[in-house]
A and B are shown apart, each in its own frame.
Chain A
Amino acid sequence: MITFKHVTKAYDGNIGLKDVTLSIDDGEFVFLVGPSGAGKSTFIKLILKEIDADEGEIQVGDFRVDQLSNREIPQMRRKIGMVFQDFRLLPKKTVFENVAFAMEILHKSPKAIKRRVPEVLKLVGIEDKSKRYPQELSAGEQQRVAIARAIVNNPRVVIADEPTGNLDPKTADDIMQLLDAINMAGTTVVMVTHAKDIVDKWNKRVVAINEGSIVRDSFGSYGYHENGRPDKKGGRDNA
């Protein structure tokens, strides 16, 4: 689903990613962990082609991202559902309109939108809030709207950038259950996170990045202390 082959990206001499090779299969759930500045956001920006790699190949679904022209970028992004720490909802659109927007971009008919949006809102558990504006909702509810928007077009992969970063533990757990359910339904999920307790609890594949390189790729716990040092009791190696 997502493949990086010897990808390097430097900013003004600083290393963002250094010769990274990684493969994420269809239907996987992957935690991407590491201290701040390790290269996690570079990784996401490369997938979305917000920035271009200096070297290497990047494949997302059917798209060779490193060879994509500017005109093709929107086509590629439509196949990816993005969820952010700060939700990034359109403040002047209602919950319904925010989710509908992702469908309008694909020129879906109003009829299809009217049918599909309530379905997805129900799936994420906020069908009763569809006429509200984002700022009238709690943080957890806003993130549910963002997830609804991310999955409304049935993307093959959902990328969640610190989706629980602004949420209290209980709400974070709800959001995790939602992401897990989405993954169970067959969608690949890549989740960037700092939250050790969540990673430890959910027991998924963990890819750890530090200083631009993948330092560990295994199943199980976070494998890192908050200070970025490897945890000796870390998870099993991913064979």
Chain B
Amino acid sequence: MRRVFYNLKQAFQQIGRNKGMSAASVFAITAMMLILGLFFIISVNVNVFTEVVKSDYDTVEVYLKDSTTEAQAAQIMNDLKEIKGVSKVTYRTKDQAMKIMKKRWGDSGYLLNSLGTNPLPNSILIKVSNLSSANSVNKAAIKNKGVENTTYYKETIDKVTKITNTIQIGALIIMLFLVVVSVVVVSNTIKLTVFARRREIEIMKYVGATNWFIRGPFLVEGMLIGILSALVSSGITYVVYGKIVAKAGLKMMTMLGSPLVPTGYLCGNLVVIFLALGIGIGACGSIISMRRFLDA
């Protein structure tokens, strides 16, 4: 416990007595985090947008043979529920299907009345939980004896899945790259503070300090700088993103049919991510930058 207090006290003292350097470090990490945050926001919003789009296409329709009885249909439904990736199964009678069709045809709906018997089949609607499983669900459903045919928007789904994956992988790569860059930048900034104090470190070693004893305050200092940067960049993101949502949120809704992720929710997550990142970057940065100076 005494060690914790000692390290905290030393770290605060070091920051206080090296205000310029500390500010430079905070500035560098904050800049990195803001860019990172930008990609995070883009990635999250693209994600929400594609989820909205996907939900329109996440249904597999299974048409039943006319010879299939209701009991058999119920059996099929039970089987379908067992398949992985199926979230909801509903039964639609041919009469219901006709009603929907009439509604879709609108004013011309009366034309359907001229049909003597209802040619539409009974059907089962399968909602899939994950769009990528629609294909396998479709394959499983069509094997069933009582099933005539199935439809789902395969090509659209494939395209959407592909684009989403590409965007998300791209964003992930860019974010990883940025994390690496910020560790390098931070370790260089901290290396400057360590370099400025290499004589102190040398003296500490002469007096018999262990490497971890010397590292402790620098480690805490790095983490404090990381935490401070996380808070600053979260604050900036909160204000700026809030303004964007307020100004452009409605336009996005009408243009793309998808809302922007709410500021509070996004920044709540971002604060946690930034804090974890900041502490990690600060700790890694200070350990990396001190390695050279601690070699005996």
Docked pose: A78 CA to B203 CA in angstroms: 12
CB distance from A17 to the nearest CB of B (A): 20
Q: How large is the interface on B (under 10, 10 to 19, 20 to 34, 35 or more residues)?
A: 20 to 34
CB distance from A188 to the nearest CB of B (A): 17
CB distance from B205 to the nearest CB of A (A): 8
CB distance from A100 to the nearest CB of B (A): 11
Can you list 10 residue pairs at the A/B interface with Cβ under 8 Å? A74-B208, A74-B209, A75-B208, A76-B208, A77-B205, A77-B206, A80-B208, A90-B203, A90-B204, A105-B207
Question: Scoring B residues 94 to 138 as 1 if CB is less than 8 Å from chain A, else 0, what string do you get?
Answer: 000000000000000000000000000000000000000000000
Give chain A interface residues in 72-129, CB to chain B under 8 Å.
73-80, 82, 88-92, 101-102, 104-105, 107, 109-110
Is A48 in contact with chain B by the CB < 8 A criterion? yes
Residues of A within 8 A of B296 (CB): 49-50, 70, 73
Is B243 in contact with chain A by the CB < 8 A criterion? no
Contact between chains at A88 and B199 (CB < 8 Å): yes
Q: How many A-B residue pairs have CB under 8 A?
A: 53
Binding site for A on B (CB under 8 A): 2-3, 6, 13-14, 17, 199-200, 202-211, 213, 296
Contact between chains at A74 and B210 (CB < 8 Å): yes
CB distance from A41 to the nearest CB of B (A): 14
Residues of B within 8 A of A75 (CB): 208
Q: Which of A49, A71, A78, A109 contacts B2 (CB 8 A)?
A: A109
Contact between chains at A105 and B208 (CB < 8 Å): yes
Contact between chains at A88 and B208 (CB < 8 Å): no
Give 6 nearest A-B pairs by CB, closest first. Answer: A78-B208, A77-B208, A74-B210, A74-B208, A105-B209, A88-B203
- Known: A88-B199, A90-B200. Contact between A48 and B6, CB under 8 A? no
Is A144 in contact with chain B by the CB < 8 A criterion? no
Additional 11 contacts, C-beta under 8 A, given A76-B208, A89-B203, A105-B207: A50-B296, A74-B211, A77-B206, A77-B207, A78-B208, A88-B206, A90-B200, A90-B203, A101-B204, A101-B207, A149-B207
Residues of B within 8 A of A90 (CB): 200, 203-204
Residue of B205, B206, B210 ringed by the most chain A CB atoms within 10 A: B206
Residues of B within 8 A of A49 (CB): 296
Contact between chains at A92 and B2 (CB < 8 Å): no
CB distance from B197 to the nearest CB of A (A): 8
Q: Which residue from chain B places its CB closest to the CB of A86 in the assembled complex? A: B199
Residues of B within 8 A of A104 (CB): 6
Contact between chains at B17 and A82 (CB < 8 Å): no
Contact between chains at A82 and B207 (CB < 8 Å): yes
Residues of A within 8 A of B207 (CB): 77-78, 82, 101-102, 105, 149
Docked pose: A78 CA to B226 CA in angstroms: 33
Residues of B within 8 A of A102 (CB): 207-208
Contact between chains at B200 and A48 (CB < 8 Å): no
Residues of B within 8 A of A48 (CB): 206
CB distance from B10 to the nearest CB of A (A): 9
Docked pose: A82 CA to B208 CA in angstroms: 10
Residue of A49, A74, A76, A109 ringed by the most chain B CB atoms within 10 A: A74
Residues of B within 8 A of A50 (CB): 296
- Known: A70-B296, A104-B6. Contact between A92 and B17, CB under 8 A? yes
Docked pose: A78 CA to B213 CA in angstroms: 13
